[in-house]
Structure 1
Amino acid sequence: MHPAQLPPEGRPGSVAVGDVVTEAGAVIADVTVAFERWGRLNAERDNVILLEHALTGDAHACGPAGEDHPTPGWWNGMIGSGRALDTDRYCIICTNVIGGCRGTTGPGSPHPDGGAWGSRFPAISVRDTVTVERAALRALGVTRLAAVIGGSLGGARALEWSLMHPEEVDRALVLCVGARASAWQIGIQSAQIQFIESDPDWLGGDYHGTGRTPDRGLGFARRVAHLTYRGELELDDRFGAAAQPGEDPLGPMRTADRFQVESYLDHQADKLAARFDAGSYVTLTDTLNRHDIGRGRGGLNDALAASTVPTMVAGVDTDILYPFHQQEHLARNLGNCLGLRRIDSPTGHDGFLTEFDQVEDIVLEFLDAGR
């Protein structure tokens, strides 16, 4: 079988990978995986860096917003000729995760039996996302990765790649994630799921095609999530306790008037509802809750100690969602750790997306380590 064709650089592509059996035994039929690429495959097809996006990201890691992309690339400036992810040297491929809503099969996708998958879409684990990505890469004729890089949910995927298929990964860079979901993460993420599932327009997950969408519940979920993505100092420096211009949240009666930070969170909620499917948000948030590299491997420390792939770990010092001590635990116990790097930022968890200079230095060091 001839490998599938790569699309032009920075343009959407997709490959069909057939039926996928999940870790828990469910079947997802006729899976399609969306992806983008930058740079060229070499003759050996072994110069691929797999780039893993976070929860509400997608395959558009580089490039402007446009007809195919509602937002600019989430790692713009990191990818290109002479950049940290050098397209003169590497072929960068970014896949959209299974369960997503930007081209890869997810709850909003057509079901083989008609209608959208909706409530019929199975729960998926981080390991399932790797299984699907690996099938997509093999359809492209890629059987070895020069590196896998990801942050947050993408970092969990990168970590699982290094443990599930160490013979196929030369090195891994794991950013802003831990070895498993903590009780705090599961608690706050489950609350977000409940916001969405409590929305009357959720319709048990089968709202697709009805003209109704659970945007109110998704907005509540996003407000809470965004507070965990950003830093307390950053938000206070930006907004403090100031009122939104033209509004008075300190009046004699409680009204809909807002503080500035409330207006900011409303804006973030509206932006997400305009570009992201609530069913995918529920599915992928549950995927994060299921993250546990120790499951079936003798526990966290045994699983990490058995790792053979050279792995660099990095985190943000003000991250409250995946605190830096979780990256310290990874680095301390990984069997082949290239080092631990700290991103200093008031921004919090999103620092791996916003602190360009620091992250660029980390990526360059990671790719040059041992060469």
Structure 2
Amino acid sequence: MRIGDLHTEAGGVINDVTIAYRRWGEFRGDPDGMNNLVLIEHALTGDTNVADWWCDLLGPGRALDTDAWCIVCTNVIGGCQGSTGPASEHPDGGRWGSRFPAISIRDQVTAEKQFLDALGVSRIHAVLGGSMGGARTLEWAMMYPDKVNAVCVIAVSARASAWQIGIQSAQISAIERDPAWQGGDFYDTGASPDAGLAAARRIAHLTYRGEQELDERFGAARQDGENPLGTFRDPAQRFAVESYLQYHGRKLVERFDAGSYVTLTEALNRHNIGRGRGGLNKALAACTVPTMIVGVDTDILYPYHQQEHLSRNVGELMGIARISSPVGHDAFLAEFRQMDRILRRFFVLSVLDEDAQEDDGYLI
């Protein structure tokens, strides 16, 4: 869907933006008041196909009940799964490439708000998402508190930490140091920074999974038929965990664009809900949207203490839930039974809160 031009927080302009989306379930209610629309926010390299990455949670009678809710998931601005991003055609010809402005999490939410405006919907029941999707969810509550009834913020922090910026900048550097990157203008050159993107993914994947899980699965074992303990180092002779990480690097190269990876990772580096709002705690305290916070006890990338910080300071705390798992950050995509209970509880509380607001005359 075309949503017009997007003016970024930092002063850039992205012309004639397209936002791709998918929908499950039928819309019911008032587009400007109480309705059943739920916006799902995908993670960094995710896409609109919630039925794929949250397959056990979406469908009739499931936590994301498509008989009860109209579920919508957009592809983020700057992405590469149908929405306008660096690989898209530029209005002046060629690809956007290096001409694509840097974007923030707030810009991503602004694009989604323009998308909903284009649909003719001015209010939604709930927003929920994890990781980068959690950052977008949190910004929805900060930017448009009068447009959403409740939010569920999963596995993210109030701002990017030095650790997160550092590890994410290392991923960006891996791509930019690939000779095929060409300053971001590699499109239509016959080459792409696949090696850099695969290396970035290997770095990232180590932060997505738990140390305990990786060690239990691989330890110091060698890859079958290979010997990494020879007289000289040989990159063809690998430990098992090296083969695993290389596999995930190759899989990302097959489905994702390096320009989008740099753009979206930079957006995560810019994540800071306190910017321009008097600091983190003041901003959180001013949040009037009922907020469920979810974290993972073994998360290396967004440690659980960051979700505890959110819960202690957010103005309208609906509750906090902890996923217990050796998987690490990706547990919100893997621990379906725990996520099922959490999301069911979230929707029960969100409906109770909506009913209370209606009784108080808050909703029209």
* Equivalences, count: 347
- Aligned runs of 1:175-324 on 2, under 5 Å? 175-256=154-235, 257-324=237-304
Give deviations 1:160-187, integer Å, cap 9, x for gaps.
0001000000000000000000001000
Q: Which amino acid aligns with 2:284?
A: L
Give deviations 1:62-105, integer Å, cap 9, x for gaps.
1xxxxxxxxxx111121111110111111000000000000000
- Aligned runs of 1:65-80 on 2, under 5 Å? 73-80=52-59
Give deviations 1:279-324, integer Å, cap 9, x for gaps.
0000000000000000000000000000000000000000000000
Cα displacement (A) at 1:252 = 1.5
- Aligned runs of 1:1-371 on 2, under 5 Å? 15-45=1-31, 46-62=35-51, 73-256=52-235, 257-369=237-349, 371=352
> Matches of 2:36 and 2:178 in 1, distance apart?
46
Query: 1:367 and 1:43, CA in 2 relative to 1: closer, same or farther beyond 3 A?
Result: closer
Q: Which amino acid aligns with 2:197?
A: L
Q: Which amino acid aligns with 1:98?
A: I
- What residue in structure 2 maps to residue 7 of structure 1? none
Q: Secondary structure at the match of 1:292?
A: coil
Cα displacement (A) at 1:113 = 0.3
Q: Which amino acid aligns with 2:232?
A: M
Give deviations 1:260-282, integer Å, cap 9, x for gaps.
00000000000000000000000
Q: Secondary structure at the match of 1:86?
A: coil
Q: Give the RMSD, CA atoms, in angstroms.
A: 0.7
Return 34-43 or 315-324, whichever deviates more.
34-43
Cα displacement (A) at 1:145 = 1.0
Cα displacement (A) at 1:144 = 0.9
> Matches of 1:89 and 1:242 in 2, distance apart?
48
- What residue in structure 2 maps to residue 70 of structure 1? none
Cα displacement (A) at 1:360 = 0.8
Q: Secondary structure at the match of 1:321?
A: coil
> Matches of 1:335 and 1:323 in 2, distance apart?
21
Unaligned runs of 5+ in 2: 353-364
Cα displacement (A) at 1:254 = 1.1
Query: 1:325 and 1:199, CA in 2 relative to 1: closer, same or farther beyond 3 A?
Result: same
Q: Runs (4+) of structure 1 moved beyond 6 Å?
A: none
> Matches of 2:316 and 2:191 in 1, distance apart?
50
TM-score, normalising length from structure 2? 0.95
Cα displacement (A) at 1:211 = 1.1
Return 204-213 or 283-292, whichever deviates more.
204-213
> Matches of 1:182 and 1:239 in 2, distance apart?
29
Cα displacement (A) at 1:43 = 4.2
> Matches of 1:350 and 1:329 in 2, distance apart?
20
Contact 2:29 2:36 in 1 (8 A): no
Q: Which amino acid aligns with 2:7?
A: V
Q: Which amino acid aligns with 1:81?
A: P
Cα displacement (A) at 1:258 = 0.1
> Matches of 1:87 and 1:365 in 2, distance apart?
16
Q: Secondary structure at the match of 2:330?
A: helix
> Matches of 1:97 and 1:305 in 2, distance apart?
27
Cα displacement (A) at 1:107 = 0.2
> Matches of 2:255 and 2:152 in 1, distance apart?
28
Q: Secondary structure at the match of 2:170?
A: helix
